[in-house]
Amino acid sequence: QVQLVESGGGLVQAGGSLRLSCAASGRIFSIAFMRWYRQAPDKQREFVAQIITDGSTSYAESVKGRFTISRDIALNMMYLQMNSLKPEDTAVYYCAASTGRPSLDWGRGTQVTVSS
C-alpha cells in the first residue's frame, strides 16, 4: 500500500496553466502504474492520464495535447501539467496508484477551478 497526497490545485482563468503534484510514500517500489482521475460535481469520476513504470503514458481524449503526465522517481513524485485549460476541466483531481492489489490506492484530491 502507498499513501498519496495531491497538491497544486487552484483557480485559474480559461486558457491558463496549472501543475498538479502527487507525492507518494510507503511501499512505493510496488507501484505498477499511476493515474490521474477527475470528478466534477454530479458526474462520475473519469480517467485523465496514466504513466506506467516503463515511462509510457496515455491520456483521455478530452485532454490529449493539453495535459502532460510525468514523474520524478528520485523524489517519488508524479505531476500533471495542464495547459490551455477550459471551464469543463473544473473538477477535483485525484492521484491513484496500482500496487498489484485488486484495488487502487487513492489520494484525497485537489480542487481545480477554471473560470470563463
Number of other CB atoms surrounding residue 113 within 10 Å: 15
* Amino acid identity for residue 41 in this structure: P
Using 50, 70 and 90 to split pLDDT, how confident is the model at 105?
A: very high
Q: Which whole number is the average pLDDT over 46-73?
A: 96
Residue 99 to residue 86: CA distance in whole angstroms: 32
75: DSSP letter: T
- CA-derived radius of gyration, the chain: 13
Question: Is 22 in contact with 11 (CB distance < 8 Å)?
Answer: no
- pLDDT exceeding 70 applies to what percent of the chain? 100
The residue length of the chain stands at 116
